[in-house]
Amino acid sequence: MNICVREGRSGMVKGLRVVRPGIRSELQDWGRYGFAPQGMSQGGPIDVHAYAWANKLLENRMEAPLIELTVGRATFQAEQELCLALTGADMQARLDACPIEHWRTFRMKPGQILTLGAARDGMRAYLAVRGGFQVPSSQESVSTVARNRMGGLEGDGRSLQAGDRLPCLSDHGSKCGSAGHGLASLGNVRVPPRMIPEYRQSVCLRVVESYQSSLFSSSEMDAFYRQTYSLSALGDRMGARLEGAEIRVPSSGVISEGLALGSVQIPPDGQPIILLNDRQTLGGYPKLGCVARVDLPKLAQLRPGAQVSFVPVALEDARAAWLGFCRFFVR
Amino acid sequence: MMKETKLRIEPVSETSWILYLGEEIDVHLAPLIGQFSERIANRCPEVIEVTPSYTSILVELDVLHADFDKFPNRVRRLHSELVQGKSDDSSRLHLLPVYYSPEVAPDLIELADHCGVPVEEVIRLHSSCEYHVCAIGFAPGFAFLAELDERIAHPRKTTPRKKVAAGSVGIADRQTAVYPSESPGGWQIIGRCPELLFDRMKDPVSPFVVGDRVKFEPISKDEYLRAGGEIGNG
């Protein structure tokens, strides 16, 4: 990926300024692939559904960098005319004083302020700009992985800070929001209401059984599917930790092996951990399978204490669902 | 010589297969796993990620451009080509200087006491053999090296340190490793390497791949300092 920062007429890079980063705001793109042999995590958006919609609304590439906001309470200011989209958890967005809806595009004029409050119904929101933020990539991606000190605005894995300026393509003369373009205008594009998810705090996740599943006794697998877990507050972008009745593990460990996204790992304390985007590349705890990728966005929007249960799914069904997702979003 | 192995291929998720080349840790598998991973990455355009480890390779496919069900046969062909073909032993040998001293290695004396050998013997045993890079993980560029002489094998610390300096050379059971950057860690630290083994501005960010070989060379304090090494714990 080449660094391509187009400069304004004044010669100064303009875009979106971070006034207040909030609890946690990070640059994310589709993720960093091809570097696992060197021990680097993939990163990427935790809620890939809201991420993909934000870019699709703006006719961006699927891989375009945007901001992932966790919990919220952030403020941004436009330095030039911009066309943006906001998806994911409702953070009571306001443009200057006016409330604006999520799951649609909107314009910002130079100087205007976008304020996000605390998430009301989920955990994460996605803020994209037309063309994507023009940030240099580190190892082929801008995805921020704090524990790898990789990605983000300066390539060192830090989250966004007050005063950071995110370069954007100039939007002058584009069709964004300009009158007279009819349906082609990007200034007022919405996600169809039936495609906007309702973030519930009680979800059932489908699991493809794999890895060491055959080593778990059938009574332990039954127990895993029968019970309801509660999401621990200790989870992060590496993994979602669950609390519930203990699952007895077949052995204390396995030879360290590659960890797929969504792996359900059972450490010796018997409390499942679902491995997410910033997971380490290798691990030695037994795993009973992987959560279907199309279900991970539901998990991404859960708050601590939320209820999680599991149901088995056939590999072919999970793959068909993921293929459908990718075909819909990749242009 | 390339180690002859059986190949077991299992689906892991809607995008991933895992290939098992052995059932137990065996340092002689490392060159095969390293070369096999490289071949899969280079010859299968539908592969977007490979994660080699001690006995296995996790392979992730691009769902839009892959025939998931055909992949095992493709991989079996690559495997037999590799095993039958002449071993092109392309594994590289890395020579890493190490300053073995309590000044930079908080566990050196205690480890020698525990193992019942003099410090000089710990250094000699650690630096006299070649190690295989069996896996890279835990942190970017962290290479698990095997196999350590059992006379100086020692378990990890019961409580990991909050901070281990970059370059620290550690021991855990029959493995050894160099911490590529400062991080928390529980390995027994017996020395420090002055070379930078992880640089995020470089590609690759670290010099090792699975299957490479590593040998340590003891250096004096002067040599260590001249190579840019620092005294102290961080």
- Chain A positions in Cβ-Cβ contact with residue B61 (cut-off 8 Å): none
pLDDT for position B234: 52
The pTM of the full predicted model, rounded to 2 decimals, is 0.92
Q: Name the pairing type of β-strands A273-275 and A124-129.
A: unpaired
Q: How confident is the model at residue B232 (pLDDT cuts 50, 70, 90)?
A: confident
pLDDT for position B91: 78
Nearest one of A174, A79, A70 to A133, comparing CA atoms: A79
- Chain A positions in Cβ-Cβ contact with residue B142 (cut-off 8 Å): 39
pLDDT for position B86: 61
Per-residue buried b or exposed e for B146-165, using 16+ beta carbons within 10 Å of the residue's own CB: bbbbeebbbeebeeebeebb
CA distance A157 to A153: 8
Cβ B203–A139 below 8 Å, yes or no? yes
For residue B219, is pLDDT > 60? yes
Query: What ipTM does this complex have?
Result: 0.92
pLDDT for position A165: 97
Read off the pLDDT of residues A12-53 as tens digits, 9 standing for 90 and up. 578 999 999 999 999 999 999 999 999 999 999 999 999 999
- Chain B positions in Cβ-Cβ contact with residue A256 (cut-off 8 Å): 53-54, 135, 137, 144
Cα Rg of chain A, angstroms? 20
For residue B122, is pLDDT > 80? yes
**Interface list for B 89-118 with A (CB within 8 A):** none
pLDDT for position B117: 96
pLDDT for position B67: 93
Average pLDDT over residues B174-183: 94
pLDDT for position A179: 41
For residue B108, is pLDDT > 60? yes
Cβ A38–B24 below 8 Å, yes or no? no
Cβ A36–B49 below 8 Å, yes or no? yes
Nearest one of B80, B54, B55, B66 to B13, comparing CA atoms: B66
- Chain B positions in Cβ-Cβ contact with residue A215 (cut-off 8 Å): none
Q: Please tell me if residue B11 touches chain A, with a CB cutoff of 8 Å.
A: yes
Which CATH topology does A202-329 take? Cyclophilin (2.40.100)
CA distance B101 to B158: 22
Query: If you measure CA to CA, which chain B residue comes closest to A36?
Result: B51
Q: Please tell me if residue B60 touches chain A, with a CB cutoff of 8 Å.
A: yes
CA distance A292 to A207: 6
For residue B21, is pLDDT > 60? yes
Nearest one of A122, A102, A133, A105 to A26, comparing CA atoms: A133
- Chain B positions in Cβ-Cβ contact with residue A280 (cut-off 8 Å): 137-139
Q: Please tell me if residue B41 touches chain A, with a CB cutoff of 8 Å.
A: yes
Q: Please report, for chain A, the start and end positions of each structural domain, with discontinuous segments joined by +.
A: 15-172+187-195, 202-329
User: What is the token pair recorded at A116?
Assistant: 């996000």
- Chain A positions in Cβ-Cβ contact with residue B41 (cut-off 8 Å): 34, 37
Of B14, B25, B204, the CB nearest to A322: B14
Residue A71 dihedral angles phi and psi, to the nearest 5°: 70, -45
Is the pLDDT higher at A254 or at B192? Answer: B192
CA distance B197 to B182: 11
CA distance A170 to A13: 10
Cβ B63–A326 below 8 Å, yes or no? yes
How close does chain B come to A44, measured CA to CA in Å?
14
Where chain A has pLDDT below 70, the residues are 1-12, 172-187, 252, 331
Residue A127 dihedral angles phi and psi, to the nearest 5°: -115, 115
- Tokens 């906007």, residue? A196
